[in-house]
Structure 1
Amino acid sequence: MKLSEIVRNLELNVIYMDEDYEIRGGIVSDLLSFVMAHAPEDSVWVTIQTHVNTIAVAVLTGIKSIIFVSGQNPNEETVKKAKEEKIALLITKDNAFNVVGKLYSLGIKGVDRLQ
């Protein structure tokens, strides 16, 4: 599913989105080490963590987009790094549980990365 379809269906606010990536899976976690170990490539990450380290984790794992939930907003440093690395940043006031349910209903499943 294209990222633009997710944005439209979940009514997400776009902070930064340079490309309309094909999203093949998803992960939800606020623990960076868990995401590093389990995130599939070409995925969307649902989290409340908004600091710049989220971008490093996304680059490391091949995550294409981060959805910040519960009204959390990234700082300027995070947005700047996301633009450099071409990681889409999206926000919603909705909570993580609801966002993941909506993603699942759209066909975005959580799939462990092969290790």
Structure 2
Amino acid sequence: MSDMLTVSKKLGYKVVVMSNEEAIVTGGYAGDLLSDVMGHAQEGEILITIQAHKNSIAVASLLGLSGIIICNSRDVSDDMKLAAKEQGITLFTTSDTQYRASIHLASVLA
């Protein structure tokens, strides 16, 4: 576990929205099927996905996730950025695949 600001610095990914620097990151969950994410992701985790739309923010908010990493250089829409700000969800982007982002996040949290 670590706070979001520390995780952000260690990840080195582009920060699109930084909401709560003191939020505790407990782990990560990689998935693109949001119904699966809803059934399995845990509060405090960071969602690792390619789903770059505001529905991902809604799921993250509902579950109490600490943030989202959008992979594969996907563009983040303005409505997703706005939703992240409104819901207090930190949002990152990276060119990494979900596999690499998962490994990287795990090493940062180890």
Normalised by the length of structure 2, the TM-score is: 0.92
* Structure with the larger strand share: 2
Aligned-partner Cα distance in 2 for 1:84–1:100: 26
Q: Deviations over 1:12-42 (max 9, x none)?
A: 1111102111101210000100100001101
Compare the two structures and name the one with the higher helix fraction.
2
Cα drift, residue 54 of structure 1: 0.4
State the TM-score, normalizing by the size of structure 1: 0.88
- The aligned length equals 108
Instruction: Give the counterpart of 1:100 among 80, 94, 102.
Output: 102
Structure 1: 5+ residue stretches without partners: 109-115
Contact 2:27 2:106 in 1 (8 A): no
Residue aligning to 2:15: 14
Alignment RMSD: 1.2
Q: Which aligned pairs between 1:15-34 and structure 2 lie closer than 5 A?
A: 15-20=16-21, 21-34=23-36
